[in-house]
Homo-oligomer: A and B are copies of this chain.
Amino acid sequence: MQRMLIDETPEKIGEKVRLKGWVTIQRDHGKVIFIDLRDRSSVIQLVITKDNADAFEKAKKSCSESAIEVIGTVKERPKNLVNEKISTGGVEVEVESLKILSVAVELPLEVSKAELDLNLQTLLERRNLALRNEKIKSIFFVSASVLDGYRNAMKEKQFTEIKTPKILSAATEGGANFFKIDYFDSEAFLAQSPQFYKQMGVGVFERVFEVGPVFRAEPHFTSRHVNEYISLDAEMGFIDSYEQIMDELEGVIWKIMENVKKQRSDVLKKYNASVPEKMEIPRMKLSDALEILEKEFGKKSEAFDIDPEGERLICEYVKKEKGSDLIFLTHYPTSIRPMYTMPNEEDKELTNSFDLLFRGVEIATGGQRIHSYEQLKKSISDRGIDPDQFKYYLEIFQYGMPPHGGWGMGSERVVQKILGLKSIKEAVLYPRDVKRLIP
């Protein structure tokens, strides 16, 4: 007898099946024991009566989260008992034999509850168990759909998937946000982004994308920071304008949303969430956004920059005024953008760069890059950095680097904002923060 996935059983009334899975709940009614058995496909009710003494004894010991294997017969459930909450609610399995594969000790969490209702610390500390909760687990089906949607969108647009090194000889973009590594006899750094390597990739493949981890030694304790996350990167050559990069990213965003909606409507329902409705994403100069913040919310910014509260408020405003969950902020000042950012042709103090905000949070940063060797070298020197440090990066600009640009997008923030999760850490399987290296 082949082992069956639970989802395959419902139509096979009268047939003998072999099932394996975890005990979600075991209810002992004295003469009969009911077990909700769960595998990767679904949940089904098992019925074990005293007539099968051996199975009954073992069912008694099969506490929640034990792994068991049963042989039994598929039966129709009495109509008045049909459980609509589980997809196999119309049938149950009358168990003939039961084998405990692995017994569980008493659980510190009641993982079978619809809502676990734990504070973030406990949720992360007891991660291995908390993740078994159906609602928490389902977050990661959305993550998988976001990754898939991204890759498919990129391939459709003829971007080549690349994998770039995460161990670097130099701190990529300057700055102090790097983790240092002992690399044999030398010192190395963990990649904070694939920035240089994806630009090198443009020189080779014209259009490249990467899905991979990035590492940021930022000592932030916020609901939107983790120190290791999965970045959705892209870089494209021969652009006509920097608006073209936003056009591409906009297309990608809708492909991701479409994919999540198509594949995970059940999860969206669980979270009472929905993906944003497809529409043109508004674009606004940062300076205009700052003006609106002052006029509409009385919020003055000290520097020519927007802080997290400002991002939240401008999203509120755009939602109210234009009905959009997303907005591009553009023309960030040169002083707060990395040295490779292309200055704006009309105002050299500004850049051809953008941030994409989604429901109050920046999810992507991008823009056009400098493609002239001399200009880039000067931009590096102007920041007091020695260009010789970037020899292998700079050399590509001597070999016909076309006008180009791209973006980096935080996959976990996208998931967080789609589902309305309070902290980004809920969208990471095993998150890393300043104090958390385990589990």
List the interface of chain A (C-beta within 8 A of B): 3, 20-23, 39-41, 65-67, 69, 101-105, 107, 128-129, 131-132, 137, 140-141, 143-144, 147-148, 155, 158, 160-169, 179-184, 186, 188, 190, 197, 200-201, 203-207, 212-213, 215, 217, 219, 227-228, 230, 237-238, 240, 371-372, 392-393, 395-403, 429-432, 434, 437-439
- Is B181 a contact of A128 with CB atoms below 8 Å? no
Q: Is the CB of B158 within 8 A of A434?
A: no
Q: Would you give the shortest CB distance from A414 to chain B, in whole angstroms? A: 13
Whether A22 and B400, one on each chain, are in contact in the complex, defined by CB atoms closer than 8 angstroms, is yes
Sample of 14 more A-B contacts, CB < 8 Å, known A67-B237, A104-B398, A140-B160 = A3-B240, A20-B238, A22-B400, A132-B203, A162-B429, A165-B429, A165-B432, A166-B228, A167-B179, A167-B437, A186-B437, A188-B437, A201-B429, A213-B213
| Distance to closest chain B CB from A435 (angstroms) | 8
Of all chain B residues, which has the CB nearest A186? B437
Give the docked Cα–Cα distance between A205 and B132 (Å). 8
**Closest B residue by C-beta to A430:** B165
Q: Which residue of B lies closest to A401 (CB)?
A: B102
| A166 with B400, Cβ < 8 A, contacts A102-B372, A140-B160, A197-B430 known | no
Q: In the bound complex, what is the Cα–Cα distance between A165 and B228 (angstroms)?
A: 7
Q: Give Cα distance in the complex from A137 to B403, angstroms.
A: 21
- Select which of B144, B212, B397 is within 8 A of A212 by beta carbon: B212
Known contacts A102-B400, A107-B399, A207-B40; A437 and B161 CB within 8 A of each other: no
Known: A39-B206, A102-B402, A179-B181. A396 touches B128 (CB 8 A): yes
Asked whether A167 and B372 contact (CB < 8 A) given A40-B206, A162-B140, A181-B179, the answer is no
Residue in B102, B144, B400 whose CB lies within 8 Å of A160: B144
- Known A400-B22, A402-B20; contact A168-B437, beta-carbon cutoff 8 A: yes
Q: Is the CB of A128 within 8 A of B395?
A: yes
Q: Could you jot down 12 A-B contacts, CB within 8 Å? A: A3-B240, A40-B160, A101-B238, A102-B372, A102-B400, A128-B392, A144-B160, A163-B213, A165-B430, A167-B227, A179-B182, A197-B430
User: For the complex, would chain A's binding face be called helix, strand, loop or mixed by DSSP majority?
Assistant: mixed
How far is A22 from B434 in the complex, measured between Cα atoms in Å? 45
Beta-carbon nearest neighbor of A169 in chain B = B437
CB nearest to A188 among chain B residues: B437
Cross-chain contact A166 with B213 (CB below 8 angstroms)? yes
Q: Is the CB of B215 within 8 A of A67?
A: no
What residue in chain B is nearest A128 (Cβ atoms)?
B396
Residues of B within 8 A of A148 (CB): 155, 161
B160 touches A238 (CB 8 A): no
| Known contacts A3-B238, A67-B238, A147-B161; is-contact A101 B140 (Cβ 8 Å) | no
Contacting residues, chain B, for A41 (C-beta < 8 A) = 158
Closest residue of chain B to A63, judged by CB? B400
Q: How far is the CB of A31 from chain B (nearest CB, A)?
A: 26
The CA-CA distance from A207 to B101 in the complex, in Å, is 17
Smallest distance from the beta carbon of A135 to chain B beta carbons, Å? 13
**A39-B238, A148-B161, A438-B392 given as contacts; is B179 within 8 A of A180 (CB)?**
no
Contacts of A20 in B (CB 8 A): 238, 402
Task: Give A411's nearest chain B residue, CB to CB.
Answer: B163
Residues on B with C-beta less than 8 A from A180 are: 181-182
- Known interface pairs A39-B238, A197-B430, A204-B132; A215-B401 also in contact (CB < 8 Å): no
Q: How far is the CB of A129 from chain B (nearest CB, A)?
A: 6
Q: How far, in Å, is A55 (CB) from chain B's closest CB? A: 18
Are B228 and A169 in contact, with the CB atoms below 8 A?
no
Query: Smallest distance from the beta carbon of A46 to chain B beta carbons, Å?
Result: 15
> Do A400 and B204 contact each other (CB < 8 Å), given the known contacts A438-B169, A438-B392?
no
How distant is A172 from chain B, measured CB to nearest CB, in Å?
12
For A215, give the chain B residue with the smallest CB separation: B167
